[in-house]
Protein backbone atom coordinates (compact mmCIF):
# COMPACT_ATOMS: atom_id res chain seq x y z
CA UNK A 1 0.00 0.00 0.00
CA UNK A 2 1.35 3.42 -0.92
CA UNK A 3 0.93 6.49 1.22
CA UNK A 4 0.32 10.06 0.15
CA UNK A 5 1.48 13.39 1.47
CA UNK A 6 1.04 16.74 -0.21
CA UNK A 7 3.74 18.22 -2.38
CA UNK A 8 4.03 21.09 0.13
CA UNK A 9 4.92 18.61 2.90
CA UNK A 10 7.47 16.97 0.60
CA UNK A 11 9.04 20.37 -0.14
CA UNK A 12 9.33 20.94 3.61
CA UNK A 13 11.17 17.60 3.80
CA UNK A 14 13.95 18.67 1.43
CA UNK A 15 16.71 17.29 3.68
CA UNK A 16 15.47 13.68 3.22
CA UNK A 17 18.46 11.44 2.52
CA UNK A 18 16.30 8.36 1.83
CA UNK A 19 14.55 9.50 -1.36
CA UNK A 20 11.16 9.42 0.40
CA UNK A 21 11.27 5.63 0.72
CA UNK A 22 8.71 5.91 3.52
CA UNK A 23 6.03 6.83 0.98
CA UNK A 24 6.24 3.32 -0.49
CA UNK A 25 6.09 1.38 2.76
CA UNK A 26 4.81 3.83 5.36
CA UNK A 27 7.94 3.11 7.38
CA UNK A 28 11.29 4.79 7.70
CA UNK A 29 14.22 3.24 5.84
CA UNK A 30 15.35 1.84 9.19
CA UNK A 31 12.08 0.78 10.88
CA UNK A 32 13.81 -0.56 13.99
CA UNK A 33 15.17 2.91 14.68
CA UNK A 34 11.98 4.81 13.83
CA UNK A 35 9.16 3.10 15.73
CA UNK A 36 6.88 5.79 17.08
CA UNK A 37 6.02 6.03 20.76
CA UNK A 38 3.67 8.98 20.24
CA UNK A 39 3.39 12.05 18.06
CA UNK A 40 1.79 15.39 17.42
CA UNK A 41 1.52 17.77 14.44
CA UNK A 42 5.21 18.67 14.30
CA UNK A 43 7.25 15.75 15.66
CA UNK A 44 7.17 12.19 16.87
CA UNK A 45 8.79 10.65 19.93
CA UNK A 46 10.64 7.49 18.96
CA UNK A 47 10.81 4.28 20.99
CA UNK A 48 14.45 3.62 20.13
CA UNK A 49 16.78 5.93 22.05
CA UNK A 50 19.90 5.28 19.98
CA UNK A 51 21.10 8.20 17.85
CA UNK A 52 20.92 7.79 14.08
CA UNK A 53 23.49 10.10 12.49
CA UNK A 54 22.27 9.51 8.94
CA UNK A 55 18.96 11.33 9.55
CA UNK A 56 18.84 15.12 9.33
CA UNK A 57 15.46 15.29 11.07
CA UNK A 58 16.33 13.31 14.18
CA UNK A 59 17.48 14.93 17.41
CA UNK A 60 18.02 13.95 21.03
CA UNK A 61 16.66 15.66 24.12
CA UNK A 62 16.89 14.33 27.68
CA UNK A 63 17.87 10.88 26.43
CA UNK A 64 14.92 10.60 24.04
CA UNK A 65 15.04 10.58 20.24
CA UNK A 66 12.65 12.76 18.25
CA UNK A 67 11.88 12.95 14.53
CA UNK A 68 10.75 16.22 12.95
CA UNK A 69 10.58 15.03 9.32
CA UNK A 70 7.39 16.60 7.93
CA UNK A 71 6.76 13.60 5.66
CA UNK A 72 7.20 11.02 8.42
CA UNK A 73 5.03 13.07 10.81
CA UNK A 74 2.30 13.31 8.13
CA UNK A 75 2.48 9.53 7.55
CA UNK A 76 2.17 8.91 11.28
CA UNK A 77 -0.92 11.13 11.38
CA UNK A 78 -2.44 9.24 8.42
CA UNK A 79 -1.91 5.92 10.18
CA UNK A 80 -3.48 7.27 13.37
CA UNK A 81 -6.49 8.56 11.42
CA UNK A 82 -6.91 5.19 9.68
CA UNK A 83 -6.77 3.36 13.03
CA UNK A 84 -9.40 5.66 14.48
CA UNK A 85 -11.64 5.26 11.43
CA UNK A 86 -11.35 1.46 11.45
CA UNK A 87 -12.21 1.27 15.16
CA UNK A 88 -15.31 3.46 14.83
CA UNK A 89 -18.41 1.46 15.79
CA UNK A 90 -21.06 4.07 15.08
CA UNK A 91 -22.24 3.93 18.68
CA UNK A 92 -21.72 6.76 21.11
CA UNK A 93 -19.19 6.09 23.80
CA UNK A 94 -20.04 6.62 27.45
CA UNK A 95 -16.76 8.50 27.71
CA UNK A 96 -18.38 11.23 25.61
CA UNK A 97 -20.71 12.06 28.47
CA UNK A 98 -19.42 13.47 31.72
CA UNK A 99 -22.08 12.31 34.17
Res 16 pLDDT > 80:
yes
pLDDT score, position 23 = 82
Render pLDDT for 57-94 as a digit per residue (tens, 0 to 9). Answer: 999 999 999 999 999 999 888 888 888 777 766 666 55
Strands across the sheet containing 64-67: 36-39, 44-46, 64-67, 58-61
Instruction: Give tens-digit pLDDT for 21-64.
Output: 888 877 777 788 888 998 888 999 999 888 877 788 999 999 99
pLDDT reported for residue 53: 77
Query: What are the residues facing 36 on neighbouring strands?
Result: 46
pTM: 0.77
Amino acid sequence: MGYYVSSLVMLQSSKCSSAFACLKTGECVNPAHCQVEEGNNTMVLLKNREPLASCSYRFEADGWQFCTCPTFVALHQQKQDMRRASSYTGRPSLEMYNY
